[in-house]
Structure 1
Amino acid sequence: MATDPLLSSQGRLLEPMEGVVDYRGRPASRSASGGWSSVLFIIGVEIAERFAYYGVSANLISFLTGPLNESTATAAASVNVWSGVASMLPLLGAFVADSYMGRYRTIVVASLLYILSLGMLTFSAALPSLHPPDCGVDAGDTSSSCPPSALKVAIFYFSLYLMAVAQGGHKPCVQAFGADQFDENDPQESVARSAFFNWWYFGLCFGTLATVTILNYIQDNLGWALGFGIPCAVMLCALALLLMGTTTYRFYPFKEQSPFARTAKALTAVARNRWSDSSERQEAVNAEHLAEAKGLLELFPIWATCLFYAVVFAQWSTLFTKQGSTMDRRIGSKFVVPPAALQSFISVSIIAFIPIYDRILVPAARKFSKLPSGITMLQRIGAGMVISLLSMAIAAAVEMKRLRTAREFGLVDQPKAMIPMSLWWLVPQYVLTGIADVFTMVGLQEFFYDQVPEALRSLGLAFYLSIFGVGSFISGFLISVIDKTTRKGGDSWFSNNLNRAHLDYFYLLLAGLSAVELLLFVYFARAYVYQKKASGVLQP
């Protein structure tokens, strides 16, 4: 007797899912949990969190070189160190989530820490007694003759690093929790999960865009207290939104053994087996766990060969912003674009390109490759690295033009003078950075989520984020070393007077290092064997 397809489909939707529970701990059904209805809550939380994070980080160099009176090189290095710590702490957050608290509870706690840290930043900026001491200059003067109080600096940096801790718990869990709402073993939900990574990045770019176009203007023109207070209020709303969706989520119960402990045991066995052929030692650890551990080790070359992409990524929130601050940013007769708002070109290009990628490029590529995703995850990452290299070469050319213009108009020794060169010169490097992110950033997110064991997916996304943490540290190290070295022979490449600096040399150096990295990436990507079926071929 033939089975009614409609009844079969309804039965599949109502049937409890294996190993998945709802918020009450009962077996979850496919129809009553997960999917896009749950993901929309989670994407909303991520948009709010990115708004809050970039509400601080995108304009941080302006605060450090302004109210805190740090030099350009010191401020850029400080931002890179903080960004590095913020991107490395997700490894700790993933460990806590996957071993003890679960992703949902970790997100809740991280949101509370976010609210506390942003509240403290607002407090430090608003309390009159913590403002820089009166030293006989006009309010708002940021010259070195009027340094901020030590207490203000201490509270600011404590709050800043508390925010990094909050981001460390929030970032690896929210995206993994969102992807968990799709069943990779279901054909329809598997395709939806692949699209989820594209639209996830599309959504969070709206948060970034709102930050750099609205919030940075408020910070530069209406005050830092309001500029930090708004992200605090937004994170309160994000926490409320997360809690509202609780009844719709899918949850994965803990295994009997911590996935970290299991994987550490397996990695130890793998290391020992390199020095011994003992079958007894091989059998000491479950073969499946050994395969998982070996799979994690095979991810390391891909991780390492993406580090200089992360170094390039670190520049748009630091040196790109300082570069733009010297140029003609007027639109009309009165409005002046805040330097950090130039980063909106990145978000706009991402928002514009993701639909093109998802709806045009992927279907076109799918016809030739027969892959559900059009191209493999590693091909996507590599394509973004090529575009990133090109963005650095263009940034160097634009900076050469800016320095030449400063010389032609006799403005070399006038660091605060506006260079008669339109902000539109910077648009290509920002747009290419955004397009590169659509390929590489989204590709890395999907790759490190897909290629790790199911129980370690928070770790996989933390592993991806650590690329940008280490990349920020490398960027800060390079800037510090180059600054000290070039200062001995005259003007530093990162002189406070950017008209005597040489950001163009630094950009060219990064372009060269990116080219070497790309060659290494291609070598290791060609040798990589995918661990899961996500890159399988579509059947005709």
Structure 2
Amino acid sequence: METQSTTNKGGWKSIKYIIECLLASIIITVVVVSGNESFEKLASVSLVMNMTFYLRSNYNMNGIFLINVVTIWTGTSNISSLAGAYLSDAYIGKFLTLFFASIASLLGMGMMTLTAGVPHLRPPKCNDQLNCVQPEMWQLGLLYAALGLLSLGAGGLRPCGIAFGADQFDTTTTKGRKQLQSFFNWWYLSFTVALIVALTGVVYIQTNISWMIGFAIPTACLLSSVVIFLIGRHTYVIKKPEGSVFSDIAEVIVASIRKRRIPYESKYSFYQEKSGSKNPNLARTHRFKCLDKAAMIVDPTSELNANGVAKNRWRLCSMQQVEHLKCIIGILPIWVSGVGCMLVIDQQSTFGILQAIQMNRTIGSKFKIPPGWLSETAMITLSIWIFIYEGIYVLTLKKIFKREARLLTMAMRVRIGIIMSIFCMVTAGIIERKRRNSAINNHSYVAPMHIWWIIPQFVLSGLIEAFDNVAMMEFFTTRMPESMRTMAGAIFFVTLSISSYLNSLIVNIIHKLTGMNGRTPWLGGHDLNENRLDYYYYIIAGLGVLNLIYFTLVGSKYVTPAKVIGVEEKLKQVEDGGGGV
């Protein structure tokens, strides 16, 4: 039911149910102030942070196979966002998509708990680092099924979460627009602060106490999330699905190809279908004018019915459909730069953790730092930066200038994020070279070099997220109309997905090329000391330099909104039903 105009719904009172999860995950007995997507984030990130270590220590997976499983799973979890966005937009809406996705995540997390709790569901524990029994096919099948359910859940939660949150603000009012400006940073911050505290305990339990208990905790949190999400239902602004953008894209492409030979002349008007949505129509823009032909009315008699409605949407599309496709094409140049930055972040959850495993992790005589804790360094860095930027910097400028002031533009933040990605990989390469030499000189599998040495690369990874990821999320959402917010969320996570798949592809190519003619490959096996991970890091840094050049010369030009056609060229509407005349 459309409830946008309801004054007692939406706003920050709804957001608290959607994004807050901190106290529910670690202090259940005190208070429950939690939200749906954050619980999924707790479960998925606790797995991502420790999945490399879990598969290495419990499934005896070697380097390349391990990296492929982790990157393909994370990539699939993110690319499934497209399916979630389509389901939400075309059929059941954001609220139900979030609900069913939560159930899928709950089932997947429950199966992961079983793999940790039942010894027969995984191969025997290996005490020899080099000669271990590999998992059987049926054991891998069960593992893949659990990861598949988690991917399905993530596919529904991730694109709809931020879109559903943005729906709670009425952007037709000054207050709503101001709240939405800070929403993206605070959204990211709420996740991060919650995860820092929650995962400190969860990852420690998984690594040092029990994997089963460590998986059972996020499973219980996911169960709680379903209940809490439903409790907040009365406060939500719930919008009806208005159709899938995917269908619109296909129709515009086909219609524009069919009319490619028709000259672009002023005598033709454009078809503008009346919409039942309360969202404002998009104005026609100058960019990608070849697509405008899909909305050109060449022969009104054959293309429109008696009510002025298009007879065949594969031959005549509305100008709104055309502008939707233009919005997507317009963000692709920025999207490419985002993939490059996220490729660097991916390294920390895979090779960064493998580095930590082969370093001195002890504090005192007994305590060992869980490798997954290093990922929290990035989260802490992200939280500190966003707090400084939103809580101090922006507020101070507002007091000085008596208005909203954000001197760090979107383009500047993306460029800083790319530069940080280069520094991150160069730093990681230098530290890995030092770690490897330390282990070889000591003739040991684990280097005597302390784990603190790799903290800088995780700090830089957090700064990449703080600058690039937040800017990308804001860019995708603000450059899309309200009706496409779910698509914007999906595109953000598809960026993560492509970076994961690209990471896997690069790793496999380097492994194959460097291992030719009987040489020892740079990557692969159980022992990083036999690899040249530092060389791999330098290659990724080189790709970062190319990304910076590309963004400076190409991508940065697409950050500003497209120019709108003048008033005299605005679309005309058919008086009787929405067709252009």
Q: Any conservation in 1 of the 2:334–2:559 contact (CA below 8 Å)?
A: no
The yes-or-no answer on 1:512 pairing with 2:498 is: no
The yes-or-no answer on 1:387 pairing with 2:420 is: yes
Q: TM-score, normalised by structure 2?
A: 0.80
The yes-or-no answer on 1:376 pairing with 2:409 is: yes
The yes-or-no answer on 1:37 pairing with 2:13 is: yes
Residue in structure 1 matching 2:520, options 465, 488, 491: 491
Q: Please name the residue that 1:72 is paired with.
A: 63
Q: Distance in 1 between matches of 2:13 and 2:334?
A: 34
Q: Please name the residue that 2:271 is paired with.
A: none
The yes-or-no answer on 1:98 pairing with 2:98 is: no
Structure 1 vs Structure 2 CA RMSD = 2.5
2:349 is paired with a residue whose SS is: coil
Q: Please name the residue that 1:266 is paired with.
A: 252
Residue in structure 1 matching 2:372, options 324, 340, 352: 340
Q: Deviations over 1:182-215 (max 9, x none)?
A: 1222222212112111111111113432454222
Q: Any conservation in 2 of the 1:262–1:289 contact (CA below 8 Å)?
A: yes
Letter in 1 for 2:543: L
Q: Please name the residue that 2:40 is paired with.
A: 49
Cα 1:385–1:272, aligned 2, differ >3 Å: closer, same or farther? farther
Q: Distance in 2 between matches of 1:482 and 1:87?
A: 24
Shift of 1:165: 1.1
Shift of 1:447: 1.0
Q: Distance in 2 between matches of 1:142 and 1:123?
A: 25
The yes-or-no answer on 1:524 pairing with 2:554 is: yes
Shift of 1:375: 3.2
Q: Any conservation in 2 of the 1:67–1:148 contact (CA below 8 Å)?
A: no
1:390 is paired with a residue whose SS is: helix
The yes-or-no answer on 1:291 pairing with 2:323 is: yes
1:111 is paired with a residue whose SS is: helix
Cα 1:312–1:272, aligned 2, differ >3 Å: closer, same or farther? farther
Q: Distance in 2 between matches of 1:467 and 1:343?
A: 20
1:169 is paired with a residue whose SS is: helix
Letter in 1 for 2:10: G
Residue in structure 1 matching 2:180, options 190, 193, 201: 193
Shift of 1:274: 5.3
Q: Please name the residue that 1:248 is paired with.
A: 235
Moved more, 371-380 or 91-100: 371-380
Q: Which runs of 5+ in 2 are unaligned?
A: 21-35, 269-292, 298-315, 564-581
Shift of 1:57: 1.7
Letter in 1 for 2:252: A
Letter in 1 for 2:107: L
Letter in 2 for 1:465: F
Q: Which runs of 5+ in 1 are unaligned?
A: 1-19, 534-540
Q: Distance in 2 between matches of 1:529 and 1:485?
A: 38
Alignment of 1:7-156 (within 5 A): 21-22=2-3, 28-30=5-7, 32-44=8-20, 45-132=36-123, 144-156=131-143
Cα 1:139–1:463, aligned 2, differ >3 Å: closer, same or farther? closer
Q: Distance in 1 between matches of 2:339 and 2:197?
A: 28
Cα 1:86–1:205, aligned 2, differ >3 Å: closer, same or farther? same
Alignment of 1:441-456 (within 5 A): 441-456=469-484
Shift of 1:425: 1.2
Shift of 1:164: 0.6
Letter in 2 for 1:386: I
Q: Any conservation in 2 of the 1:327–1:419 contact (CA below 8 Å)?
A: yes
Q: Any conservation in 2 of the 1:194–1:373 contact (CA below 8 Å)?
A: no
Q: Distance in 1 between matches of 2:228 and 2:88?
A: 20
Cα 1:487–1:365, aligned 2, differ >3 Å: closer, same or farther? farther
The yes-or-no answer on 1:158 pairing with 2:145 is: yes
The count of corresponding residues between Structure 1 and Structure 2 is 499
Letter in 1 for 2:79: M
Letter in 2 for 1:251: I
Q: TM-score, normalised by structure 1?
A: 0.86
Q: Please name the residue that 1:301 is paired with.
A: 333
Q: Any conservation in 1 of the 2:60–2:132 contact (CA below 8 Å)?
A: no
1:420 is paired with a residue whose SS is: strand
Q: Please name the residue that 2:156 is paired with.
A: 169
Q: Distance in 2 between matches of 1:48 and 1:254?
A: 25
Cα 1:247–1:320, aligned 2, differ >3 Å: closer, same or farther? same
Q: Please name the residue that 2:358 is paired with.
A: 326
Q: Any conservation in 1 of the 2:338–2:469 contact (CA below 8 Å)?
A: no
Q: Distance in 2 between matches of 1:384 and 1:145?
A: 40
Letter in 1 for 2:175: Q
Residue in structure 1 matching 2:467, options 422, 439, 461: 439
Letter in 1 for 2:327: G
Shift of 1:236: 0.7
Shift of 1:225: 1.9
Q: Distance in 2 between matches of 1:518 and 1:270?
A: 34
Q: Any conservation in 1 of the 2:397–2:405 contact (CA below 8 Å)?
A: no
Moved more, 167-176 or 491-500: 491-500
Q: Distance in 2 between matches of 1:54 and 1:142?
A: 27
1:421 is paired with a residue whose SS is: strand
Shift of 1:378: 3.1
Q: Deviations over 1:87-146 (max 9, x none)?
A: 11101100100111100100000000111111112123323443436xxxx787776443
